[in-house]
Amino acid sequence: MENATSGFNATPQASRLHIALFGRRNVGKSSLFNALAGQPAAIVADHAGTTTDPVRRAIELHPLGPCLLIDTAGYDEADDEIGRRRLQATLDVAATADVALLVTDTAPQTIDLEWLNRLRAMELPVLVVYNKGYQPEHPLQPSVAVDVITEATTRLLREAVISLAPQGDVTPSLTAGLAAPGDVVLLVMPQDRQAPRGRLILPQVQTIRDLLDRECTVVGCTPARLEATLAALAAPPKLMITDSQVFDFVAARCPEGCRLTSFSVLMAAAKGDIGYLADGARHIDRLTPASRVLIAEACTHAPLTEDIGREKLPRILRARVGQSLEVEIRSGKDWPADLSGYDLIIHCGACMFNRRQMLSRIARAREQSVAMTNYGLAIAHLKGILPRVSLPNTAN
Ligand SMILES: Nc1nc2c(ncn2[C@@H]2O[C@H](COP(=O)(O)OP(=O)(O)OP(=O)(O)O)[C@@H](O)[C@H]2O)c(=O)[nH]1
Ligand SMILES: [Mg+2]
């Protein structure tokens, strides 16, 4: 997708406020999408079912900042195979949304009220948009009545969205409670075959930015340079943040009084419920050779040799629990509705997911009483260093 989320200067999609449009077919969702985007980014036609797949557009909505606008297929799609797949795609969008716009051009129908309840049950702020000049007698609240083809109501719409949207960053600070202004923080970042050529991975970039915002001094090295780097510092660092793959190597060299954590732990805390995930790591002790483990990764990258999720973790888990341990790997959107057959879920750091999306995955695991953890916490527990790991204070 060539837009403001793909350029060199772009805010990553996962850090944008996700604003999603829902409604029956032909009510004017795409027209509203275009009005908010300020450009004809989605196809509009007087034909029910014009939008089939979600359409995303990065926008700046002052004073909210970087947002991601998402248009969807009508939720009253036909009840056939394709209709059901479109509906699932719309439901997937709902799981990532931070703000929902429920659009109608008539008095809300039963399906609209069902969706309103569904979105509210997901603790989403929902703005009801009465479009095409329809003036409700008893408007649902909060709502706005617009006729999106008139210029003046686009401003009205924008203001209503802004007043409903949560203020501030959609993702808590990565290093909340772990680093104070003036602290020296040492980052250990292996640049092995897994590392993309010519750049750092997103969790590292975001952590550096977060620490700079906190007025910390950021020092970085590869594991091979760790001892020399520590020796070069006038005083021990206050915090060390490592790639989880070398957690034990770094833990063994972490000076007394220096906190230790990993990029994956920081991402998990910012994106999800760190308490639930930390408990999940301890659940590894309860696995038996007959247990089933689901390893879920957000990216659909081509697996590399020695890939952490596909090779390293299954190997260490089996060495610990027994070779017959069943390990299933799912990537991208492939996230089973029924998790009850698993004894533990181990998720990647989810740097490509927004907080809403990760929280909805954790909520599903929790509802089905399935323990869930993430790569970094699982590795820390398997290496016996979990008690040594500092967790950020995401309530901050
Ligand atoms: N008069 C009037 N017509 C509108 C308004 N908004 C949309 N329309 C018309 O309604 C029709 C459907 O608009 P879309 O924006 O494509 O509707 P949609 O909800 O995205 O439809 P699907 O993608 O099929 O689900 C088009 O012919 C639009 O021109 C409006 O505010 N006023
Ligand atoms: Mg449409």
224 belongs to a structural domain: yes
27 & 78 share domain: yes
282 domain-assigned: yes
| Predicted local distance difference test score (pLDDT) of residue 1 | 40
Bridge-partner residues for 60, per DSSP? 66
Of 241, 266, 291, which residue sits at a domain end? 266
Q: What is the reported pTM?
A: 0.79
Residues 75 and 160 in one domain: yes
| Same domain, residue pair 101 and 138 | yes
Q: Is 21 in the same domain as 154? A: yes
- Tell whether 282 and 384 lie within a shared domain: yes
Contacts 24+ apart (CB under 8 A), 41-48: 42/71, 48/74
**Closest alpha carbon to 314 in 335, 297, 301, 302:** 297
286 lies in the same domain as 316: yes
- Is residue 221 in some structural domain? yes
- Starting from the CA of residue 27, give the closest ligand: 1
Residues 79 and 220 in one domain: no
**Separation between Cα atoms, residue 281 and residue 126, nearest integer Å:** 35
- Per residue in 241-268, pLDDT tens? 999 889 999 999 999 999 999 998 998 8
Q: Which of 25, 29, 31, 72 to mutate to test the pocket of ligand 1 (most atoms within 8 A of CB)?
A: 31
In terms of domains, do 135 and 204 share one? no
For residues 91 and 33, state if they share a domain. yes
250 and 317 housed in the same domain = no
Closest C-alpha residue for ligand 1 atom 12: 26
Residues with C-beta less than 6 Å from any ligand 1 atom: 23, 25-31, 44-46, 48-51, 74, 131-133, 147-149
Q: What is the CATH number of the domain that holds 203?
A: 3.40.50.11420
Flag whether 54 is in a domain.
Answer: yes
Residues in the chain: 396
The answer as to whether 3 is a domain residue is: no
Cβ–Cβ < 8 Å for 171, 14: yes
Q: Are residues 281 and 197 in the same domain?
A: no
Q: Taking a C-beta distance cutoff of 8 angstroms, is the pair 239, 221 a contact? A: no
By alpha-carbon position, which residue is closest to atom 10 of ligand 1? 28
Domain count, the chain: 3
Give tens-digit pLDDT for 38-61: 899 999 999 999 999 999 999 988
List the chain pLDDT tens, one digit each, 396 residues.
434 444 555 788 888 999 999 999 999 999 999 999 989 999 999 999 999 999 999 998 888 888 999 999 999 988 899 999 999 999 999 999 999 999 999 999 999 999 999 999 998 999 999 999 999 999 999 999 999 877 778 889 999 999 998 877 777 889 989 999 999 999 999 998 777 888 898 889 999 999 999 999 999 999 999 999 999 999 999 999 999 889 999 999 999 999 999 998 998 888 888 999 999 999 999 999 999 999 998 876 655 556 777 888 999 999 999 999 999 999 888 889 899 999 999 998 777 888 898 898 999 999 999 999 998 899 999 999 999 999 988 643
Phi, psi of 116, rounded to the nearest 5 degrees: -60, -45
Q: Report yes or no on 176 lying in a domain.
A: no
Residue span of the structural domain in which 327 resides: 271-388
Mode of pairing for the β-strands spanning 55-61 and 65-71: antiparallel
Eight-class DSSP state of 184:
E
CATH classification of the domain holding 306: 3.40.50.11410
Alpha helices in the chain (DSSP H): 29-37, 81-96, 110-121, 151-164, 202-213, 226-232, 247-253, 263-271, 274-282, 313-321, 355-367, 375-382
* CA 267 to ligand 2 center in whole angstroms: 34
pLDDT of residue 2: 39
- CA-nearest residue, atom 6 of ligand 1: 28
In angstroms, the Cα distances linking 346 to 35, 274, 298, 379 are: 41, 13, 11, 10
Pairing mode, strands 217-221 and 184-188 = parallel
Q: Which atom of ligand 1 is nearest to the CA of 23?
A: 19
